[in-house]
Amino acid sequence: MGVPLHVSSPQGRAEGSASLVDGSELRAIDPYGKHLFYRFGPKEAQGQRTLHVHLGLFGKFTRSKSPALPPKETVRLRIASPKWTVDLVGPTDCRIVDPDEEFTIRARLGPDPLRPDADPELVWKSLQRRRIPIGEALLDQKVIAGVGNVYRAEALFIVGVHPNRPANQLDRYEFDQIWSTLVRLLNLGVQDKRILTVSDDELATFDRPRRRIPGKEAVYVYKKGHCMRCGSAIERWDMAGRWAYACQTCQPK
């Protein structure tokens, strides 16, 4: 930040957006749930342009030292400073949005557990109105922003709630546990730059080799055949188009 950036779209699909911010400075990055808002331009809001990025299922950022190697053909956006070059590949969305479009995107999102200003009360009220399974509700970004399939599986495992429990049948204590677990796990993910849901103590007992693999996720039930805590079989089923996971012992129906 603070230096003019060279922004380009080697793939061509984001050329229009890239040209609008090419040569300007990056002022801030404002994450909200799974959405990223990059603020380019002058310090004052007027004259700023906002680049919206959503990684979707396949999107990925890679960073290398400048000058970087020539980009692959699939690079949607390249942002280069004299020191670093960042390539973005495969995002669902990568384009300049105006304030109205940003408002529309934000209006579709519930509270984000990673944001200090998030209000869990809104999530609780939203869940009380829904008869859908809690596992489905946690993936609904209108209810709560930023939770994906891994964190859904892991948070419900940690609090011992089965994903099929109707959202409006949770009691307040269970909800508070789910919220605080998500806050803790998501912050841990940011801090560790990987998905890590297992406590240090448990990781040391059952997952020692993995602990030393930087960037490798460490989880209890997601994509596991057996529960990493008790060894029971992990149940896996399709829940609204996504795989859900639960330990038959730790998460009684």
Partner DNA sequence: TGGGCATGCGCAA
Partner DNA sequence: TGCGCCTGCCCAT
Interface contacts to DNA, rule CB under 7 A: 11, 33-34, 54, 56-58, 60, 72, 74, 76, 89-90, 92, 108, 139, 141, 148-150, 195, 217, 222-223, 240-243
Which of left, alpha, beta for 23 (phi over 0: left; psi -120 to 50: alpha)? left
CB-based contacts of 134: which residues, under 8 Å, 6+ apart?
A: 127, 156, 161, 163, 164, 165, 166, 167, 170, 178
Indicate the SS3 state at residue 177: helix
Q: Are 194 and 217 in contact (CB under 8 A)?
A: yes
Q: Report the b/e string of 14-35 with b at 16+ CB within 10 A.
A: beebbebbbebbbbeeebbbbb
Q: What are phi and psi of 153, to 5 degrees?
A: -60, -45
Q: What's the rounded Cα separation, in Å, for the pair 133 and 153?
A: 13
Q: How far is the CB of 92 from DNA (least distance, A)?
A: 5
Q: What's the rounded Cα separation, in Å, for the pair 43 and 146?
A: 28
Q: Which is nearer to DNA, 26 or 144 (CB)?
A: 144
Q: Which is nearer to DNA, 41 or 130 (CB)?
A: 130
Q: How far is the CB of 87 from DNA (least distance, A)?
A: 9
Q: How far is the CB of 189 from DNA (least distance, A)?
A: 8
Q: What's the rounded Cα separation, in Å, for the pair 7 and 56?
A: 21
Q: How far is the CB of 245 from DNA (least distance, A)?
A: 9
Q: Which is nearer to DNA, 25 or 217 (CB)?
A: 217
Q: Which is nearer to DNA, 11 or 251 (CB)?
A: 11
Q: How far is the CB of 77 from DNA (least distance, A)?
A: 11
Q: Which is nearer to DNA, 206 or 243 (CB)?
A: 243
For β-strands 26-32 and 75-80, DSSP reports them as unpaired
Q: What's the rounded Cα separation, in Å, for the pair 190 and 171?
A: 29
Q: How far is the CB of 41 from DNA (least distance, A)?
A: 25
Q: How far is the CB of 253 from DNA (least distance, A)?
A: 20
Indicate the SS3 state at residue 106: helix
Q: Which is nearer to DNA, 45 or 240 (CB)?
A: 240
Distance of CA 71 to the CA centre of its chain: 26
Q: Which is nearer to DNA, 138 or 170 (CB)?
A: 138
